[in-house]
Amino acid sequence: MKRIKKTKIIATLGPSTSSIDMIEKLINEGVDVLRINFSHSTHEEAKKIINNIRELNEKKSLNTAILADLQGPKLRIGEIRENTILSEGDILTVKTDKEFLGDKEKIYLNYRDLAKDIQKGEKILVDDGKIILKAINTDSKNTIQVEVIQGGDLSSNKGFNLPNTNISQPALTKKDIEDAIFATKENVDWIALSFVRHKSDIESLKSIIENNSNHRIPIIAKIEKPEGVKNIDEIMEVASGIMVARGDLGVEINAAEVPLIQKKLVHKAKKARIPVIIATQMMESMMKSLNPNRAEVNDVANSVMDGADAVMLSGETSVGDHPIEVVQTISRILSKVENSDLISLKHKHPVDYESDRFITKSICFHASKIANDTKAKAISTLTNSGYTAYQISSWRPKSHILVFTSNKRILSQLNLLWGVKAFYYDELETTDKTIEQINKIAYENKYLQKDDRVINLTSMPVEKKGMVNTIRVSKI
């Protein structure tokens, strides 16, 4: 019988992997979702990549998903004179009105409202915290004075973080809006929004999508600021998934707190029945080395054991020296870990009895439980919106999750969900005939064998394409 990896792999495309040959190799080695990072990709480059992915999907009958990742309000310093070194105790002038070549006495930051938002005593972390500055004075217009708390080599265009400052900058910059419109018109499968702080950030992006497409594109909220962690419950009310983006999060928040925050966010996502992605520095040593270090192997394994739907590779596949080997390595780790009996997610019956979806939720819950109790090899469901796929995936059954839909738009979207394999099916037969046909498809694709049990979920009458209301145990 075919064995499929259940935890999904997201690979970022870049100079190392943008060709159609490299994209095909990544998919063959186990990549389920390909990420276009708009921090570095132009629309022309992105268009070519999207066309390459769709060409491969058509040619190979694949459902590889496309994730467009918006840059967000990334804060950066300006150009810096070569060999600029800051020493502890230095006093530095920071300007935000117009760009200039900085040095050890003055630098430019690209956040115009910094002088208005920052308070005396608040910190600025440059280059992922390698350099630490503290505000000692501000004119509340365009100039602040800072003291160097931790010095080091200062180079051009490094990012900076404001862990103590409540910034007024919107979540969507002008560039993000242009990129979001482009991605929407290209009908990508998912859009990720960076530096999400509030529910309204997601709602703003939803409006852009709705105004530029007739299709629903689900949104991933990237959690990388303290406000995002604090407001996670309201954010998850409107987001279709979350990403624990540990890079900036580990700078903005004490790094020692990040492991527990990761577990908390994964738990909340599972409770909300939405996918959660773990990102940043998963296999960073493999950008240069052919082997990961033991800490990275443990990190990937623990992310799976926490309940992550997907793990994301960034520089490892976009600019690293060994993109194919990284995917091979992480696939092996996932396959070793994800079926362990040591992994136990708490399964609680849905209790929102008044919800329109309660019957469907309850059926999906019991389907997962019956599949585990009877050692069924698969749960097979018909869906038009993908809702049952989200529900069943979140229960983490030991069986395959086979999803059949006539909605071609969601085939690739579902590829992000843990354990889900989606098939196109558009027949409108009787319930008995439909179950017979989809079981045959699963058998022919080697997900089922003779005498296997399968849990079939359908709606009756099937031709109405309504919400799932029927559960049946079949034998092949």
Q: How sure is the predictor about 346, in pLDDT bands with cuts at 50, 70 and 90?
A: low
Does a structural domain hold residue 77?
no
Q: CB atoms < 10 A from the CB of 61, how many? A: 8
Does a structural domain hold residue 78?
no
> Do 247 and 179 sit in the same domain of this protein?
yes
Does a structural domain hold residue 119?
yes
Looking at the predicted structure, is the pLDDT value of residue 247 above 90? Answer: no
221 pairs with which residues across the strands? 193, 242
Q: How sure is the predictor about 141, in pLDDT bands with cuts at 50, 70 and 90?
A: very high
Residue 54 sits in a domain whose CATH number is: 3.20.20.60
* Residues in Cβ contact with 283 at an 8 Å cutoff, skipping those fewer than 6 apart: 292, 296, 300, 313, 316, 326, 329, 330
- Could you tell me if 424 and 405 are in contact, meaning their C-beta atoms sit under 8 angstroms apart? yes
Residue 467 sits in a domain whose CATH number is: 3.40.1380.20
Q: How sure is the predictor about 2, in pLDDT bands with cuts at 50, 70 and 90?
A: low
> Do 231 and 328 sit in the same domain of this protein?
yes
> Do 50 and 186 sit in the same domain of this protein?
yes
Looking at the predicted structure, is the pLDDT value of residue 1 above 60? Answer: no
Does a structural domain hold residue 123?
yes
Domain finish residue from 125, 144, 161:
161
Q: Which two tokens stand for residue 2?
A: 């075919």
- Could you tell me if 94 and 109 are in contact, meaning their C-beta atoms sit under 8 angstroms apart? yes
The dihedral built from the CA positions of residue 260, 263, 267 and 273, taken in this order, carries a sign that is: positive
> Do 320 and 370 sit in the same domain of this protein?
no
DSSP states of 180-228: HHHHHHTT-SEEEETT--SHHHHHHHHHHHHHH-SS---EEEEE-SHHH
Amino acid at the residue 467: M
> Do 130 and 243 sit in the same domain of this protein?
no
Once rounded to an integer, what is the mean pLDDT over residues 225-242? Answer: 96
Distance CA 32, CA 415 (A): 6
Phi then psi dihedrals of residue 39, to 5 deg: -70, -25
- Could you tell me if 350 and 358 are in contact, meaning their C-beta atoms sit under 8 angstroms apart? yes
Place of tokens 């409108």: 428
* Residues in Cβ contact with 17 at an 8 Å cutoff, skipping those fewer than 6 apart: 11, 23, 26, 317, 318, 323
Q: CB atoms < 10 A from the CB of 327, how many? A: 25
Angle at 32 between CA 29 and CA 36, to 5 degrees: 105
* pLDDT in the model for residue 244: 96
> Do 413 and 273 sit in the same domain of this protein?
no
Q: Which domain holds residue 35?
A: 8-72+170-337
* Residues in Cβ contact with 139 at an 8 Å cutoff, skipping those fewer than 6 apart: 115
Give 36-66 pLDDT, tens digit per residue.
999 889 999 999 999 999 999 999 999 999 9
Q: How sure is the predictor about 285, in pLDDT bands with cuts at 50, 70 and 90?
A: very high
- Could you tell me if 128 and 100 are in contact, meaning their C-beta atoms sit under 8 angstroms apart? no
Does a structural domain hold residue 345?
no
> Do 303 and 440 sit in the same domain of this protein?
no
Across 104-118, 214-228, 337-351, least confident range: 337-351
Stronger pLDDT, 281 or 290, i.e. the higher one:
290
Q: How sure is the predictor about 416, in pLDDT bands with cuts at 50, 70 and 90?
A: very high
* pLDDT in the model for residue 9: 98
> Do 49 and 183 sit in the same domain of this protein?
yes
Give 14-28 pLDDT, tens digit per residue.
999 999 999 999 999
Give 457-470 pLDDT, tens digit per residue.
988 776 666 788 88
Once rounded to an integer, what is the mean pLDDT over residues 399-427? Answer: 95
* pLDDT in the model for residue 276: 97
* pLDDT in the model for residue 344: 65
Mean pLDDT of the chain, nearest integer: 92
Domain finish residue from 288, 306, 337:
337
- Residues above pLDDT 70, as percent of the chain: 98
Residue 106 sits in a domain whose CATH number is: 2.40.33.10
* pLDDT in the model for residue 380: 96
Q: At 266, is the secondary structure helix, strand, or coil?
A: helix
Across 39-48, 254-263, 343-352, 391-400, least confident range: 343-352
Does a structural domain hold residue 378?
yes
Looking at the predicted structure, is the pLDDT value of residue 348 above 80? Answer: no
Looking at 315-419, which runs of residues are DSSP E strands? 378-382, 400-405
Q: How sure is the predictor about 345, in pLDDT bands with cuts at 50, 70 and 90?
A: low
Q: 0.85 exceeded by the pTM?
A: yes
> Do 157 and 54 sit in the same domain of this protein?
no
Domain finish residue from 108, 141, 161:
161
Does a structural domain hold residue 392?
yes
Does a structural domain hold residue 344?
no
Distance CA 145, CA 92 (A): 6
> Do 46 and 110 sit in the same domain of this protein?
no
Looking at the predicted structure, is the pLDDT value of residue 327 above 90? Answer: yes
Alpha helices in 414-465 (DSSP H): 431-444
Q: Domain tally for the chain?
A: 3
- Could you tell me if 333 and 301 are in contact, meaning their C-beta atoms sit under 8 angstroms apart? yes
Place of tokens 């008995």: 432
> Do 103 and 240 sit in the same domain of this protein?
no
Once rounded to an integer, what is the mean pLDDT over residues 260-278? Answer: 95
- Could you tell me if 457 and 380 are in contact, meaning their C-beta atoms sit under 8 angstroms apart? yes
> Do 89 and 205 sit in the same domain of this protein?
no
